[in-house]
Amino acid sequence: MKVSYRVNGVTVEADGVWPGASLLTVLRDHMDLPGSKNACEQGECGSCSVLLDGELVCACLVQAGQADGLDVRTVEGLAGDGATETDVGDVQQAFLDAGAVQCGFCTPGLVVAVDHLLARNPDPSDAELREELSGNLCRCTGYVKIIDAVHLAAARRRATAGAGAAGGSGG
Amino acid sequence: MDFLQPTSLDDALALRAERLDATPIAGGTDLMVDINFDRARPAATLDLTRVPELRELEVDADGAWVGAGVPYLRILEALGDVAPGLCMAARTVGSPQIRARGTLGGNLGTASPAGDTLPALAACEATVEVASATRPRREIAVRDFIVRPRRSALEPDELIVRVRVPRARGPQQFGKVGQRNAMVISVASFGLAFDLDARAVGTGIGSAGPTILGAPAAEAWVAEAFGDHDLWATRAALPDGVAKRFGELVGEAASPIDDVRGTARYRRHALSVLAARALAWAWADARRAEDAA
Ligand SMILES: Cc1cc2nc3c(=O)[nH]c(=O)nc-3n(C[C@H](O)[C@H](O)[C@H](O)COP(=O)(O)OP(=O)(O)OC[C@H]3O[C@@H](n4cnc5c(N)ncnc54)[C@H](O)[C@@H]3O)c2cc1C
Ligand code: FES
Ligand code: FES
């Protein structure tokens, strides 16, 4: 079947998609967007997290056609529409600065989830962010540095917003 | 595999009748896992996410109609006062990603006795409205909706349209025991709903039998015990032993099995503890509400 999504601000089509395929498979295998990771395909790990019409979802659990015509925001678009491969958004930069990336497999899903969280809650407590990120598993870091990174990103975003400039990125 | 995407309930029901070999899909949080792992290969899927009637959520004086396709996230935003027990259960489902997509229709449609919203819905006597293309709509009590694991009371040409959730008439509680705090399939779960007007307590037991169970003996005993101690009128503190005995009776109503997630003995014990706590906490809420009034 044929599907068309608006991915990171650009309309992208894919043909020859098996109807049983997931949004994740279409992004990775048909649209050349391998940033969202496939680790479990059962909604447990969150490494495939994307925003679908602004909601944080596991792309592995959305059937390809269900997303037809909808907006998808992936890790590739976190630095804003039209970002290049080397551009990073503020959440990604905070992960780098806080040392919150080890093997990096969980990172794409986590930064999308954190971006979404900070868009709704600019100053989350530890308890709130642990709850909000409970669908994103990391096998390497033990989460301490990830939580540091969220607070760092949040503080920088608040400072930027306070300074009157545009805060955040894609979320 | 065919992909069918109706945009109205009439079309969805017509397609459901025409394609009995199709499997409906809402949030996909159960079905897509099966497709991804090659455990399900339906000849077609019938996508319900574009059917507006299934995504309606209406609150009225006596309760709420929750469309089968309303995701947990919206239930949590809208029904805190109307259906606190359902919201407690919905809050424990999966993760934020799962709650953004997963629906009540899907929880019912999967027909697992471990579906977390089902004991909460059973405790407050919620009913499921189902429709077909040709026959009048019918209502099924949540307690009767699961016939056996993976088998619901739905006919092959029917869809779940919405769930009627009566407005809470007293405090409600929901508890589940799992292997860790987040993202668990419950090993035992329990919903409780006080009806302070009718002077009654409703119960729903999950994961401890082949279907969703009630505990009628426990319900009858506790209503009488509250009467004997004049608690309904006085809102006095729970006398010693009432919560414990209630828990034991709930445990006796279960018919759990041994499986990888827990033994039958453990499940019954866990259920007794959950039920005793639920009663104590809900009654404490009732007394607090009385103090505040
Ligand atoms: C990581 C993870 C964690 C989870 N945690 C929990 C948990 O804690 N507690 C819990 O209870 N569940 C949990 N689940 C299971 C699942 O999220 C829920 O059962 C959810 O409610 C399913 O809803 P859905 O819309 O995604 O269903 P879908 O997968 O779309 O559908 C499920 C079934 O219901 C049928 N169906 C859906 N809508 C209708 C309708 N309107 N009429 C007729 N049939 C219909 C479908 O045909 C299918 O058979 C979890 C799942 C995952 C992946
Ligand atoms: S790959 Fe989707 S949640 Fe793990
Ligand atoms: S950095 Fe390796 S899984 Fe998180």
- The mean predicted confidence, pLDDT, of chain A is 94
B43 to chain A, any CB pair closer than 8 A? The answer is no
Q: Which CATH architecture has domain A3-78?
A: Roll (3.10)
Query: A107-120 and A90-98 are packed helices; what angle lies between their axes, rounded to 10 degrees?
Result: 120
pLDDT of A67 over the 70 cut? yes
Per-residue tokens: B212 = 């969703």
Mean pLDDT value of segment B269-281 = 97
Pocket flag, ligand 3, residue A40 (CB < 6 Å): no
CB-CB under 8 Å, A18 with B1: yes
d(CA A8, CA A146): 25
A81: pLDDT confidence band, cut at 50, 70 and 90?
A: confident
Percent over 90 (pLDDT), chain B: 88
Query: For A57, which residue in chain B has the nearest alpha carbon?
Result: B97
pLDDT of A118 over the 90 cut? yes
């307690």: which residue's tokens?
A: B143
Output Rg (C-alpha) for chain B, integer angstroms.
19
A168: pLDDT confidence band, cut at 50, 70 and 90?
A: very low
Distance from Cα A105 to the centre of ligand 3, integer Å: 5
Q: Is A107 in a helix, a strand, or coil?
A: helix
Give the rounded distance of the alpha carbon of A152 from its chain centre: 17
Q: A163: which residues sit within 8 A by CB, 6+ positions away?
A: none
pLDDT of A6 over the 90 cut? yes
Given this model, what pLDDT does residue A170 score? 44
> Which superfamily, per CATH, for A90-165?
[2Fe-2S]-binding domain (1.10.150.120)
Given this model, what pLDDT does residue A164 score? 65
d(CA B192, CA B172): 6
pLDDT of B256 over the 90 cut? no
How much is the ipTM here?
Answer: 0.94
Chain B residues touching A66 at Cβ < 8 A: 25, 28, 47, 49
CA distances from A25 to A29, A80, A112, A113, B125 (A): 5, 23, 18, 19, 41
Give the mutation candidate from B23, B32, B47 for the A interface (greatest A CB count, under 10 A).
Answer: B32
CA distances from A5 to A19, A30, A69, B29, B75 (A): 15, 12, 5, 21, 27
Query: For A114, which residue in chain B has the nearest alpha carbon?
Result: B96
Given this model, what pLDDT does residue B185 score? 72
A42 to chain B, any CB pair closer than 8 A? The answer is yes
Mean pLDDT value of segment B4-11 = 98
Task: Supply φ then ψ for residue A52, to 5 degrees.
Answer: -110, 115
DSSP B129-145: EEE-SSSPPEEEEHHHH
By CB atoms closer than 10 A (0-12, 13-18, 19+), residue A42 is middle
Q: Whose CA is nearest to atom 2 of ligand 3?
A: A103
Mean pLDDT value of segment A123-150 = 96
By CB atoms closer than 10 A (0-12, 13-18, 19+), residue A114 is buried
Given this model, what pLDDT does residue B186 score? 79
- Model's pTM, two decimal places? 0.95
- Do residues A37 and A47 touch, judged by C-beta distance below 8 A? yes
pLDDT of B255 over the 90 cut? no
d(CA B273, CA B279): 10
Given this model, what pLDDT does residue A84 score? 86
Q: Is B109 in a helix, a strand, or coil?
A: helix
All CATH 3.10.20.30 domain ranges of chain A, comma separated, are 3-78
Pocket flag, ligand 1, residue B206 (CB < 6 Å): no
Percent over 90 (pLDDT), chain A: 89
B2-166 CATH fold: 3.30.465
d(CA A98, CA B174): 39
d(CA B129, CA A40): 35
Per-residue tokens: A166 = 């545009």
pLDDT digits (tens, 9 = 90+) for B161-194: 999 999 999 999 999 998 665 556 778 999 999 9
Which of B3, B36, B182 is facing A19, going by the closest CB pair?
B3
Chain A residues touching B28 at Cβ < 8 A: 61-63, 66
> Which superfamily, per CATH, for B172-292?
CO dehydrogenase flavoprotein, C-terminal domain (3.30.390.50)
- Do residues B211 and B113 touch, judged by C-beta distance below 8 A? yes
B178 to chain A, any CB pair closer than 8 A? The answer is no
All CATH 1.10.150.120 domain ranges of chain A, comma separated, are 90-165
pLDDT digits (tens, 9 = 90+) for B107-128: 999 999 899 999 999 999 999 9
Quote the minimal CA–CA distance from A28 to chain B in Å.
Answer: 15
Given this model, what pLDDT does residue B180 score? 63
Pocket flag, ligand 3, residue A4 (CB < 6 Å): no
- The mean predicted confidence, pLDDT, of chain B is 95
Mean pLDDT value of segment B261-269 = 87
d(CA B265, CA B251): 10
